[in-house]
Amino acid sequence: MFKTNVAAIAMVLGVATPALAEFPERPLQVIVPYSAGGSTDLGMRVVADALETKFDGLRVVVRNQPGGGGGIGTSAAVHARADGYTLGAGAQGPIAILPHVGGADYTVDDFEFVGLFARSLQVLVACKDAPFSDYDSFIASAADKAPQIGNSGAGGANHISAEAFAKAAGIKIESIPFGGSSEARTACIGGHIDAMVASPAEAKASSEAGQMTPLFVMENARIDLFPDTPTAVEKGVDFTWSSYKGFVAPKGIPDTDLAWLRNAVKEVATDPAFIAKMTEMGEFVTYEDGPAFEARVKKDSEMAKTVLEELGLLGMNN
């Protein structure tokens, strides 16, 4: 009885939307390794919403499994049954960085990369009362005294990116870890630290209000939001960094199902309504397919490994 019902529903849906052949006949589950309400979580919820709109009858359930710097939820995703119904939010920290710090029961090679739908661009900003206000004065000032750069947690993505930049630019910095990015932001606006890594959206609002001053963008080319802010690349420092939002899965998903998922991510990531919503939230929507996503993560992973080794954090928690 139940089986015939499912078959009947699947048939009806199959007729309605050809893209929905057999897979998925149950709700998809996406594990977000952070608490509900954070930027990764909100991004995932917007995608889930867009997927449900795009594919009739599809349900996407976002499940939050926070803790251990994202390691707990990511571990749950990578060790889930490889049937394509459980996916993970591909976050930079837990996948590319955490395995090097240790305490994770997976490595970057254990993942199947489904697709990337947004990149989170990064801007280094000067905080209130900082002794510098643009890229050149920042570098000059760093020669005298290592600037205190706040990050959202030791061994986290923006700790690594700040240190990686310092290494590439040949300057010394003092990293000050906080318990999350909003704590770091508070300290920055209050003038308790010199600089921090921010997202373009928060940097934009804060710089208009005179709370922060953008120093440089961690991209290859200048971005629309900050046409007057240079990149590190144009200042002669070979350094780019961004984090990302995408889907990962355990290895071993049936090929046809993986192909369906990859196509679904592509369709959503190129949907104008979705792009508009995400852009409003300050995300930079872009689509990268599985292999491109994988190459990006592996490059980050290598870079993180080098930086962690120099900081003496490599394998710290093993």
For another protein, the binding residues (CB under 8 A) are 35-39, 41-42, 45-46, 48-49, 63-69, 71-72, 75, 101, 103-105, 128, 148, 153-156, 174, 176-180, 182-183, 185-187, 189-193, 201-202, 204-206, 208-211, 277, 280-282, 313, 316-317
Closer CB to another protein, 170 or 190, in the complex: 190
Both tokens of residue 158? 């923006």
How far is Cα 139 from Cα 56, in angstroms, rounded to an integer? 53
Q: Please report how close the Cβ of residue 115 comes to another protein at its closest, in angstroms.
A: 21
Q: Please report how close the Cβ of residue 159 comes to another protein at its closest, in angstroms.
A: 8
Taking each helix axis as running N to C, give the angle between helix 272-280 and helix 255-269, from 0 to 180 degrees, rounded to the nearest 10: 70
How far is Cα 134 from Cα 139, in angstroms, rounded to an integer? 9
- The contacts of residue 72 (CB under 8 Å, 6+ apart) are 33, 65, 66
Q: Please report how close the Cβ of residue 66 comes to another protein at its closest, in angstroms.
A: 6
How many residues are recorded in the chain?
Answer: 318
Closer CB to another protein, 70 or 290, in the complex: 70
Closer CB to another protein, 74 or 240, in the complex: 74
Pairing of strands 174-177, 213-217: unpaired
Closer CB to another protein, 171 or 316, in the complex: 316
Closer CB to another protein, 252 or 315, in the complex: 315
Q: Please report how close the Cβ of residue 39 comes to another protein at its closest, in angstroms.
A: 7
Q: Please report how close the Cβ of residue 175 comes to another protein at its closest, in angstroms.
A: 9
Closer CB to another protein, 14 or 148, in the complex: 148
Q: Please report how close the Cβ of residue 21 comes to another protein at its closest, in angstroms.
A: 28
